[in-house]
Copies of this chain bind each other. A is one copy, B any other.
Amino acid sequence: MRAQIDSAGGLRHLVTLEGLSRETLLSLLDRAENYRRIPGQPAYEGRELAGVTVSNLFFEPSTRTRASFDLAARRLGAHVLNMDMQSSSRVKGETMLDTVYTLEAMNTDVFVIRDTEAGLPEFLIDHVAPHVSVISAGEAHCSHPTQGLLDVLTIRTHKRRFEGLKVVIVGDIRHSRVARSTAQALTTLGVTDLRLVGPESLLPDENEFRGAQRFTRIEDGLADADVVMMLRIQKERMAVDASLDDAAYFRDFGLTPARLRLAAPNAIVMHPGPMNRGIEIDSRVADGPQSVIREQVNNGVAVRMAVLAAIAATLTRHRLPL
C-alpha cells in the first residue's frame, strides 16, 4: 500500500490508524477541536473544501456515518456525490474500478469508502490518480479510522491525558473495526492499560491487540476503569451461538448502573452507536450522567472535517496547474 503520509508530511489518505504517528494523531485532534461546535452553537461553516468534490461510495449502508461525512464535507464548502452502491448487486473488482475512474474523470478529489469486505480502501489507494485521496468510512472488521479518532478526541476532552488511563472495551471485539481502530489510536497516544471483555468466542486472536488484557467476566475488566467503551452486538453473531441470546448477553455483559459502579467514580461511558438498549447497555447508563455517547457523535463530524481539511490541504500540493 502506498503511504498515507506524503513526502512533505501531509495526510494523503486515511484508511487505517495503524502506523500513524502520535504527532499526526494529535494534529488531527487539535484541528477537530477547532471545528467542533456543541449542539446549540451555530455549526462551523468554512471554505476549506471549496472547489473540492467528495464522492461517498457506500457498499455497506450506514445512515449515520454517511450523514456525518456528508455534513462535514458540505460545511467546509465541498460538492458531495452520494453514490448508492448497495442498491446494485456487488460489482466485480474491475467494474468497480471503472466506476472509480469515471468519478475521477468527473474531477472527484476524495473518495469516502465503506465496505463489508476487507481490502477495498487499500486497493483504491494503489489505483487512484496522484491527485486523489481515499478515506475509509469503515472496512469489514478491520478498520474504522475516523471512529477511532472521534473516540480518542472524546476521551481527551474528558480525561486531558492518555498516559495512565485504564480503558476497557466490552463486547464483540473479534469482529469490531471500531475496537481495532480505537485501540491502535489509544496505544499510539500512550494508553498502556487496555482491557478487552467479551465471551470467549468474541475475543480476538492472541496475536491481535498486543499488550491488552483479556477478560470473560465484565466485572473483572471494569475494576477502576477510567473509560468504558461498549460495542454494538450484532444480531447475526447471536444466531450462530446459542449462548448469546439477548437476555443472556445482557445478564453476562450488559452495562448496568451496578456494574458501572465498579469503574472509577468519574469514568465515562462510550458507545459507537446505534445502541441496542437493554442488550449491551442499560438505558439508565446510556442516558446517565457518565454517558458521553452523544458527544461522540458530535466529535464525529468535527473529526471528519479535520481529516477532510487536512487531506484537501495536502492535495493542493499534488494538483496540476490550470
Contacts and interface: CB of A to CB of B under 8 A. Distances in A.
A101 B293 CA distance: 10
B45 A51 contact: yes
A39 interface: yes
Interface in A74-104: 74-75, 79, 81, 83, 94-95, 98-99, 101-104
A interface: dominant SS: mixed
A293 to B, nearest CB: 9
Contacts of A320: 38, 40-41
Interface stretch (A196-204, A235-243, A245-253, A273-281): A273-281
Interface string A35-56: 0011111110100001111000
Interface in A268-316: 273-275, 277, 283, 294-298, 300-301
Contacts of A103: 67
Nearest to A50: B45
A38 to B, nearest CB: 7
A300 B107 CA distance: 11
A107 B68 CA distance: 10
Given A67-B81, A79-B75, A98-B274, A297 B105 contact: yes
A101 to B, nearest CB: 6
B39 A129 contact: yes
Contacts of A79: 43, 71, 74-75
A22 interface: no
A300 to B, nearest CB: 8
A79 B43 CA distance: 10
Most buried by B among A45, A52, A107: A107
A141 interface: no
Nearest to A38: B320
A31 interface: no
A217 interface: no
A64 B84 CA distance: 12
Given A43-B51, A320-B38, A64 B102 contact: yes
A94 B51 CA distance: 40
A134 to B, nearest CB: 15
B319 A40 contact: yes
A149 to B, nearest CB: 16
A104 B273 contact: no
B71 A106 contact: yes
Given A39-B105, A67-B106, A98-B277, 11 more contacts: A37-B107, A38-B320, A39-B104, A42-B52, A43-B53, A45-B51, A71-B107, A104-B294, A105-B296, A106-B297, A107-B298
21 contacts: A37-B107, A39-B105, A40-B131, A41-B320, A41-B321, A41-B322, A42-B51, A42-B319, A43-B53, A45-B51, A64-B102, A67-B106, A68-B106, A70-B81, A71-B106, A98-B273, A98-B277, A104-B294, A105-B298, A106-B300, A107-B301
